[in-house]
A and B are shown apart, each in its own frame.
Chain A
């Protein structure tokens, strides 16, 4: 049997993964990122918009992002960019996410019933 593993980023890492993916396309600031998540998820992912900033700050401290003050539409905004380290992190997180999604998919499609068909029914 393979060694026991956990998926710590199964839920906690979702905002991080989304932000990395969006910033891989182009540099953005907080409000743009929130709007992009809302539009691309067709409104399914709803959250307090302010909570994106602590995540961005954490990612910047980790070295996955850099930030710079820039004028956007005549207003000063803190624009975030993905670093080389962030790209590596994105590749790793995306691969892990795909594995988790595939595993959940298999379970949801009934694969578990087939694999566990040898298990004895619970005695009553």
Chain B
């Protein structure tokens, strides 16, 4: 039936414009209902012809373009992708890392003051090292995941996921940290900064893996939508 061709074309155009699967499903369902109503309003066969549907509903390509445009305009990230995906990840990562280290060191100081013998404990030393690495890894992973999801949900597409991911990779690879554990109160030191050449190649892969996982999940959802409409 002709409405199925129109709906498939619309779905394809919306998908090509990287709109989120849930929005595509809803938009196509609404247009499908509209086609049914047009077909049932008149009993002659002309009502359901493709030309009639296109005339009444508008060209599917134009309709998809309008939907994509309106959808992006509704989201801050869609209106300002440069600002969001190139400007925001770095400050967000730094802010998250600052919060992580501030809370972590407060806890460590409190524990060190309450249980002085914990300073020489091997498990405590390993825990502190993990905390130090986590201060880089967790913000990198968290911010990459949030911005990748944001890009896909705002219909900005994979290119903005890649842009944010590349920034996070560069940041992660350039981070240098140094932790000297205290043997007595006030003797430890911690430093963090960016350096060239990149020293932390493992951190280069973390954002890539995170962004790839988010994108894979998103693409799997897109493909799970029924492509062919019932005829």
Interface residues of A (CB under 8 A from B): 29-31, 34, 48-51, 53-55, 57-58, 61-62, 75-78
- Bound Cα distance from A5 to B33, whole angstroms: 41
| Complex: chain A residue closest to B26, CB-CB | A78
A50 touches B33 (CB 8 A): no
**Interface window among B64-72, B190-198, B218-226:** B64-72
- A48 to chain B: which residues have CB within 8 Å? 56-59, 62-63
Chain B, interface residues (CB within 8 Å), range:
20 to 34
Pairwise interchain contact B70-A57, C-beta atoms closer than 8 A? yes
Q: Which residue of A lies closest to B6 (CB)?
A: A50
In the complex the two chains form, is B31's CB within 8 Å of A50's CB?
yes
Q: Which residues of B contact A57 (CB under 8 A)?
A: 23, 27, 67, 70-71, 74
The answer to whether A31 touches B33, judged by C-beta atoms less than 8 angstroms apart, is yes
Q: Give complex CA distance A76, B4 in Å.
A: 18
C-beta contact mask, B1-35 vs A, less than 8 Å → 1, else 0? 00000000000000000000001001101110110
Which of A29, A30, A48, A76 has most chain B Cβ within 10 Å? A48
CB pair A55 B58 closer than 8 Å:
no
Given contacts A48-B63, A50-B57, A50-B63, contact A58 B33 (CB under 8 A): no
Residue of A nearest to B34 (CB): A31
State whether B71 touches A53 (Cβ < 8 A). no
- Interface assignment of B73: CB less than 8 Å from any CB of chain A: yes
| B36 at interface by CB-CB < 8 Å | yes
Q: Does B37 contact A (CB under 8 A)?
A: yes
List residues of B whose CB falls within 8 A of some A CB: 23, 26-27, 29-31, 33-34, 36-38, 56-59, 62-63, 66-67, 69-71, 73-74
Q: Which of A30, A54, A76, A77 makes the CB contact (< 8 A) with B67? A: A54
Selected contact of A77 from candidates B33, B59, B74, CB within 8 Å: B33
Partner of A54, one of B56, B57, B59, B70: B70
> A31 CA to B38 CA in the complex, in Å?
8
* Closest chain A CB from B106 CB (angstroms): 40
Chain B residues, Cβ within 8 Å of A31: 33-34, 37-38
